[in-house]
Structure 1
Amino acid sequence: MGAQQPAALQLLKGRGNGTDSGGRKVKEPPNFKRVPPTAPDWLSAEAAAEWARVVPGLQRLDLLKEEDRAVLAAYCETWSTYVVAVRLVATEGLTIEAKQGMLPHPAVGIARSAGRELRAFAGQFGLSPVAEMALGQVGDDGAEDSNPFSG
């Protein structure tokens, strides 16, 4: 089975009239004004660098709108938290010595938690290969012949 393709590519290879090569309707995104949000001035340095890294690519794909500012800021700050925690573990090690003996370094848990949050935020913008494929998915239009394997 082939990978899901972005809507623009489905249309390019399609049959015309908004359908893909299999004749299925390609879902179009809502008609928001596609203008990237302005980065908040309170972003940490690492978060601001991530904002500068991802916004141009997302803008080229017309994925950003002004209303995305909060989620994009949260993604960037989560990235910053992840980076700080990973650097701390790299410097201080995976474990710490405590009265109870050796324990996992607290930054290990912080990095793990931030990584989970990061994946969730990244999925909102298609910033992973799997999430990128999901951005172009078409909902069920109710046609019985749209997927001969479902049932």
Structure 2
Amino acid sequence: MATPRKRLSMCTKHMTKKEKIDKQQAEKRLKVARDQLKPPDFLPDIAKEEFCRVAREAAGADFLDNLDLSILAIYADNWAKYIRASEAIQREGLTYETAKGNIFPSPYVNIADKAAAMIMRCSSKLGLATTDRLKLIIPEKEEKPANKFIKLLDA
């Protein structure tokens, strides 16, 4: 399996000037504006705070842009659901007892599990973990040098 590509700033490999310039140009072609990266109005306050926190942190690493708005909104919304479900579990416990004495898992456990799964999927797509960010860099096609023995076959 090939190793994932890294951004130029993260590369430790010795590169020629041409390789560095080519890599810089490839990274520039992938960049989109960041001017619309604001939390949507439908998000609850706690989700807006998480949205802004992630956008602010990502600005330093320069890897989120306008095209990530919807995924980031889904991530922040599920973050809020997870927090609310966790608070409810803390208040009410992991299980509840019916009038007949049967014990069932709290519905908030299921909500927290689904929200956590969605958070993990979105964070992977957004590159919120270092390993995920490295996977997001699109490899450029490398040109193979022409076979120098082809000339001998034509003779």
Deviation at 1:18, TM superposition (A): 3.2
Query: Is the contact between residue 75 and residue 121 of structure 1 (CA under 8 Å) also seen in structure 2?
Result: yes
Displacement after TM superposition at 1:138 (Å): 3.3
Residue 5 of structure 1 deviates from its aligned partner by: 7.0
Whichever residue aligns with residue 134 of structure 2, its letter is M
Q: By percentage of residues, which structure has more helix?
A: 2
Q: Contact 1:82/1:111 (CA < 8 Å) preserved in 2?
A: yes
Residue of structure 1 equivalent to 2:149:
none
Query: What do the CA deviations read for 1:77-124 (whole angstroms, capped 9, x no partner)?
Result: 011001111111111111011246111110001101111110001111
Match of 2:58 in 1: 58
* Inter-CA distance 34–76: structure 2 relative to 1 (3 Å threshold): same
- Report the number of matched residues: 136
CA contact (8 A) 1:34 1:63 kept: no
1:36–1:59 CA contact under 8 A, matched in 2 = no
The answer as to 2:107 corresponding to 1:77 is no
State the one-letter code of the partner of 1:138. P
Identical-pair percentage:
26
* 3-state SS, counterpart of residue 30 of structure 2: coil
Cα distance in 2 for partners of 1:130, 1:106 equals: 33
**Alignment check: 8 A CA contact 1:123 1:131 kept:** yes
Paired letter, 1:78: N
Deviation at residue 141 of structure 1 after TM alignment? 4.6
The AA in structure 1 aligned to 2:93 is G
**Alpha-carbon shift at residue 13 of structure 1 (Å):** 4.6
Q: Output the TM-score relative to the length of structure 1.
A: 0.73
Residue 139 (structure 1) shift: 6.4
The 3-state SS of whatever aligns with 2:35 is: coil
Cα 1:7–1:121 change in 2 (3 A) is same
User: Could you list the runs of 5+ residues in structure 1 that have no partner in the other structure?
Assistant: 20-24, 144-151
Whole-angstrom CA distance in 1 between matches of 2:41 and 2:127: 25
Larger Rg: 2
46 and 61 in structure 1: CA distance in 2 versus 1, 3 angstrom threshold: same
- Output the amino acid matched with 2:77: E
